[in-house]
Each structure stands twice: as C-alpha cells, then as structure tokens.
Structure 1
Amino acid sequence: MTSELKDKTMNQSANPRVAVVYHSGFGHTAKQAQAVARGVATVKGVQSLLINVDDVNHYWGTLEEMDAIIFGSPTYMGSASAQFKAFMDATSRRVFACGGKWANKLAAGFTNAASRSGDKLATLQQISVFAAQHGMHWVNLGLPPGHNSSKSTEDSLNRDGFFLGAAAQSNADEGSDVAPPPADLRTAEMLGARVANVARQLLAGKLALQAQASALDLAAQAR
C-alpha cells in the first residue's frame, strides 16, 4: 500500500456515521435514545444522528449513507410500539424493495418498559429480525448481567441482565425527568459506544481492503 493510499484510508476510517432511530411515547425511551447517541459521540471521529420516527420521512436518503443504525422503541403489550412498527413496515417499500439499501450496515437495538422484564426481550428480538431482513450485521450489548448477586446493586450496568440489546426500566408513575435510572442510561451509552467502535473497525477494514486492491491494480498496470 502506498503512503498516499494509507493516509487516505486512515483519514476516512476515522469518520463512520451512526444513526439512532427511535420512537418514544412518554419521553422515557427518548431519554434512553439520547444516552445511546451520547455513547456514540464518545468515540473519537464517529458522527451521530438522532432521528425520531415521526420525522423519518425527511431522513430516508440520509439513512442510506449511515454505517450503522441503532433502533429503539418502548415495549407496549410485548411488542415494539405501533409507531415504531409503522416505521418498520415503511422500510419494506423504501429500503427493502429498492435493492436492499441497508445491507451490510451495522444494527443494534434498545427498549424501555415499566416492568423489570416487561417482555422487553420480545421487542429486541423483533428489532433484530427486522435488521436481519435488511441484511444488517447485529451488534449485541456486550455486557455481563449486572445485578445478579448479593454484592451487586441497582446501580450496576445492565442491571436487568439483557444480552441482545440495551434494556431500561422506567416506573409507570414517574416521568422522564427521573426515569429511566442512571444505571440504565449508562448501559445505553455503553451500547452506543460499542456500536461506534465496531463501525470504526468495520469501515477501516473496508477502506484498507479497497486501498490494497487499488495498490495491486496499480502494480499490475506497471508491469
């Protein structure tokens, strides 16, 4: 690889783009989404974009340019919210039927419910299947269960013990000014940072392979 191609690869690989696409009914999942975006922003050179599904019609083209999309929805009655499901359904014509425009992007998910379990796993599974239908690469939470011993506390990361994505619990009688609790927001930040780091690695690898192929082509032409 020439030094010029190497420099170009290093500069480009430092700027992957990650979108956080979410719906929030009462503000709790919005707060979780903001924490995910903060986590993305902690990784140097990674650009983040927060998109409410209510505004997604302005961002279809932008989403095609993302390296990763992190999806988030509250869990209502054991499923993603109706508004988030409408967004999922809309991708059938706008994304899936147009040549798989999200294929090979990274994907991850998060959800919030009033109960400790609240069937949140069903929503994370729903979102992961949705990502798989688009040919995306799923990134899990990557944290061990947090509050599962007599020595652990409610302030532990991943206190609810989810693996597939980030889960938060917000008391039904508390507003988004106090819920989800700090531990769940820090867990959401960890998910955002994890996806951002994987996006950097994946994009750097892609660009390195492209630069290597270009160098080989130049070498072949010089023979």
Structure 2
Amino acid sequence: MSANSSGLKGVVVFHSGYGHTKRMADSVAEGAKASLLQISAEGELSEQQWAEILAADFIILGSPTYMGGPSWQFKKFSDASSKPWFADLWKDKIFGGFTNSSSVNGDKLATLQYFTLLAAQHRGIWVGVGMKSSNTKASQRDDLNRMGSFIGPMAQTPADAAPEEMSPGDLETARVYGERVAEIAGLFLAAKTAASIV
C-alpha cells in the first residue's frame, strides 16, 4: 500500500456491478490519494487486500444501491469483517462511504446508513460530505452535491446509461469528498500523535 503525500494510508473498498460505482470509486480514490480495493463478483477480497485495510488510516466504502441497500457482494464483505471486529482491529479508523443508483432517490440513503452502522460497529469515526446541497432553481445536473446528501456522496445514473455518461458533478462531488476524508484522517492522526507525545 502506498501512502499519500501526507503519509496517510487510505483504502477505498467497493463493489461495482456494471462499472458506475467503480467510476465513483476512482474519483474518491483520486481525491483521497487512496488505494482501490475492489470486491470481486463473488464478494471476496484477497488476503493482501484485507491486510491493506488493516494497515489503513482511513477506509471509504462503496456499493451500488440494489433493492434498497448495498449489493450482496458488499454485504458478504461486511459479514466477513466480523473477524477484525472481534479483535477491534479497525477501532478509531476514519470511515466514509458513497453509492450510486439509477433512480433519483433509489433508497440510496439506506445504503449510506448501512455503511455508517458498519463503521460504528467497528467503533470507527464517520466523515460526512461537508458541503451544502445544490438545490436552487438555477441548479444543474452537473453541480456539486446535486443529490443533497450529507452522509456521503450519492450519484444517479439512468439505467440505460453507460459509466462514461455519468454526471461530472457527481464524480467531482466524490473526488472532493475523498479529499475531505483524507484531510479529516490527517487531522485526527496528528492529534493522536500529539497526545501520545505529551
């Protein structure tokens, strides 16, 4: 795992069914300067990927929203995380998350809430979007946070649209969010380091 310029180690752990969530993951990872760990079509991660999560200072979770929640592949990963949960291995890590669905609502909030609960189970610290929504008459499809989400970035992609047709605003929201998670993680790590020196 490579650290970003501030020395932080971060991972984006995600599942993508058709490539749309992967585009979001790419944007989040770009902003956070984090490694991409894609959950396989069978819901698996390699031992090396699990090791990267353990070594990370922050973990950003991603999944499409299917039937009102994350994909089964993501849920399989979530259940498998009970092993580090028993040993408190992810305690006090910084967490974030993002999702995509074809409908404007699509119950994406339920997926993000699932992520926040998973982070809380691991006794982690969640980072919200940190920006206001674009909700005026002048707002456009490609504005930042056009979906008005505060827990984590949401993207909306029509069911018949290719990943290349995703809203640039949704992707930029994801990138800026990645920057924010890494920034908060850096502040938290610096505070912990300072406290241990005193």
Report which structure shows greater RCO (CA 8 Å, sep ≥6).
Answer: 1
Give the structure 2 partner of residue 119 of structure 1.
107
Q: Which residue is equivalent to 1:76? A: 66
Distance 2:153 2:23 in 1: 13
> Structure 1 residue 100 and structure 2 residue 88: aligned?
yes
Q: How many Å separate the matches in 2 of 1:143 and 1:115?
A: 22
Aligned to 1:30: 22
Say yes or no: does 1:191 pair with 2:177: yes
Read off the aligned partner of 1:81 and give its amino acid letter.
S
In 1, Cα distance between equivalents of 2:125 and 2:138: 35
The answer to whether the Cα contact below 8 Å between 2:11 and 2:52 also exists between their aligned partners in 1 is no
Instruction: Tell me by how many angstroms 1:188 deviates.
Output: 0.2
Percent sequence identity is: 43
Report Cα offsets for 1:51-73 as digits up to 9, x if no partner. 00126223112211111000000
Query: C-alpha displacement at 1:150, in angstroms?
Result: 1.1
Which sections of structure 2, spanning at least 5 residues, go unmatched? none
- Alpha-carbon distance in 2 for matches of 1:40, 1:184: 16
- Give 3-state SS (helix, strand or coil) of 1:50's partner: strand
Alpha-carbon contact 2:133-2:149 (below 8 Å) kept:
yes
Long gaps (5+) in structure 1: 1-12, 42-47, 213-223
Q: Residues of 2 paired with 1:109 and 1:87: CA distance?
A: 14
Letter in 2 for 1:125: Q
Q: Does 1:153 align with 2:143?
A: no
| TM-score (structure 1 length as normaliser) | 0.82
Distance change >3 Å, CA 14–CA 210, structure 1 → 2:
farther
Name the larger-Rg structure: 1
- Work out the CA distance in 2 between the residues paired with 1:105 and 1:164: 17
- In structure 2, what is the Cα distance between the partners aligned to 1:34 and 1:24? 11
In terms of fraction of residues, the more helix-rich structure is 1
Q: Secondary structure at the match of 2:132?
A: coil
Structure 1 residue 101, shift from structure 2 partner: 0.3
Instruction: Report what 1:182 is aligned to.
Output: 168
* TM-score of the pair, normalised by structure 2: 0.92
CA-CA distance at 1:122 after TM superposition: 0.4
Cα deviation 1:68-115 (Å, max 9, x = unaligned): 0000000000010010000001111x2112x11000000011000001
Residue-by-residue CA offset, 1:2-54 (whole Å, 9 max, x unaligned):
xxxxxxxxxxx93111110000000000000000001112xxxxxx1110012
Q: Deviations over 1:138-173 (max 9, x none)?
A: 000111111x11122222100010111010011111
